[in-house]
Amino acid sequence: MAGIYLHVPFCKSRCHYCDFFKSTKLEYRVQYLENLSSEIVDRKDFFLEKNTKIETIYFGGGTPSLFSLDQLFHLIKLLYSRYSVSDNAEITIEVNPDDLNREYLEGLKTIGVNRLSIGIQSFRDEDLKMMGRRHNARQSFQVLEQVFDEGFQNVGIDLIYGLPWSTAEDWLENIEIVKDYPLKHISAYHLTIEPGTKFGKEKLAKKLLEIEESESEKLFWQIHDRFKQLGFEHYEISNFCKDGFYSRHNTSYWNEIPYLGLGPGAHSFDGDKRYWNKPDLHQYISKGYQPGYSYEILSAQDRFNEKLMLGLRTGRGICKEEMKVRFNEYFKDVEKQVNMWINREFLKFENGHIRATRKGWFVIDGIIEDLFIV
CB of 15 to ligand SF4, least distance (A): 3
- Closest to ligand SF4 by CB, 67 vs 304, is 67
CB of 64 to ligand SF4, least distance (A): 10
CB of 26 to ligand SF4, least distance (A): 12
8 A C-beta contact, residue 351 and residue 317: no
8 A C-beta contact, residue 63 and residue 96: yes
- Closest to ligand SF4 by CB, 17 vs 346, is 17
Site residues (vs ligand SF4, CB under 6 A): 11, 14-15, 18, 20, 22, 61-63, 96, 119
Alpha-helical segments (H) within the chain: 29-42, 69-82, 102-110, 125-130, 137-149, 168-178, 198-204, 213-229, 248-254, 281-287, 300-312, 320-343, 358-361, 364-371
Backbone angles phi, psi at 67, to 5 degrees: -85, 140
Angle (CA) 291 292 298, round 5°: 130
Give the separation between CA 281 and CA 22, rounded to whole angstroms. Answer: 8
β-bridge mates for residue 318, sequence order:
354
- Closest to ligand SF4 by CB, 20 vs 293, is 20
CB of 327 to ligand SF4, least distance (A): 36
- Closest to ligand SF4 by CB, 61 vs 311, is 61
CB of 12 to ligand SF4, least distance (A): 8
- 3-state DSSP assignment of residue 196: coil
- Closest to ligand SF4 by CB, 60 vs 311, is 60
Give the separation between CA 253 and CA 269, rounded to whole angstroms. Answer: 9
Give the separation between CA 281 and CA 113, rounded to whole angstroms. Answer: 26
CB of 155 to ligand SF4, least distance (A): 18
Nearest-CA neighbor of 96 among 129, 69, 134, 142? 134
